[in-house]
A and B are shown apart, each in its own frame.
Chain A
């Protein structure tokens, strides 16, 4: 069925509808043509028959002799009556009385009496047969010669012949129908092809690529208004989105600046204890604010901005940034695993996601332990291995929800509770998968795996 649907299109497709409608229309036209043809043919047959009856009746009329026995007609001859003894010819007088031959009945007699005396007239016989009565004027006396059709219906046979003939030539008709359908399918296929390109363009339009528009080249005139209207809608969305984005970028700038001023003011405080405490508070505020911005950016991420990211390089750069504070906390970092892995993605947000996993591991790991970033090439991704307290099975996936901080032995751990939710958002935007497993020998393994 696969190739069939390739030709006719999936259910509800324009192409399939067109094929079905064209096929039905062609069949209807064929039926109509056949019907008209048959009717014309039968009409023609009947006219021919009646003309030959008149001719025969005229011939019989020519040999009538009123003085001879049986009016000179040899009523017993084959020509006069058919093999079943039915009379082909009957001679009537003006009053409708049968003079020679036997095709008569009161109904026939009545029709003969009514028949005009100057032209032939059609007589309806028994069993739906027809006959033609021809008036003859002999010795001042009017006679009517009736020529009747035989019992069998000759036109029926001719129609059957015609149908048979038609059936023999039917493959030509079939070829005609097929060529019409193929022409219709090709026409739809060719005029719909630009739509595939338009769909692809539409697929790549996201918050980061709102300046793109659908191409209108080569589109069928019927679809052009739709695409133009969609482009118009995109213009309006783009404009609205720009306002929003400028707003959030303004907000992030407007909030960062006073935070930075506040921090620089705190740096000038002479009292070291107070300064340290305030610095810690403002650090937490900074982190929370930056994470909210990360979350908003991850949610709005579009695959159109993805580039090839070297997973090992990203991990090493990140680990280099984070190693200083980690070592000062008495912990250490390591990058292991493949050096070749590459994935398509947004390097900035992937760095933030992996950074959150590492920061999370550092937060919950005791001093003297090592946090390992393992780079994986097949399937591409990272694993962050720690020797922390581990995560209860019931808590595992809930950890990736927003503002859900793990219950457990580190209740005073810094963090806003959205670090792992950002990881999840970034993963979702990349079609990647996050996981938490227990690590043999204690601790957890947080995984971030790209799907192929």
Chain B
């Protein structure tokens, strides 16, 4: 087993300290940070993502492993080049204005972060302008909006309108989710996508990003 495979396996087993030791060892052996990231950490998280999808792993268990990945990533960060290929895709996520519930947002955010995306969490009760401001940051690929309450669901539409008016949606895609939200509602308000749960959100983000790359 190569050291990159060991990193991947250790990550899958959720061993934080071992992942850190192996990442440090790989750097010492002369592996590039980019190779360790893709061949070790991201490869491991891919397997974890699959095991989550099949129901073998539960969300808290995935998050435990995501913690191990980020421990490794922290060690790689100073060595990663600033080239786009080494940069993880950026996603802005937040709960819309009037809604202080963050469970769904947090689960999706943590899962996306866990499988290798850069997640900018702008918090709860976010007015449309806060989403617009965050999405203006360079290279944000996706803006994810969450609403738990039926009373705050209309704010999803208001936020998407504000993002459109600010010209954000030309380069960035919006996705929506939350207990009262449905695919029909997402389509009605012009969202690029809707996901009913965290697992589906990961698939949706990957699908939208691959469309962009095609």
Q: Is B one of A's binding partners? A: no
Q: Which residues of B contact A (CB under 8 A)?
A: none
Which residues does A use to contact B, with CB under 8 Å? none
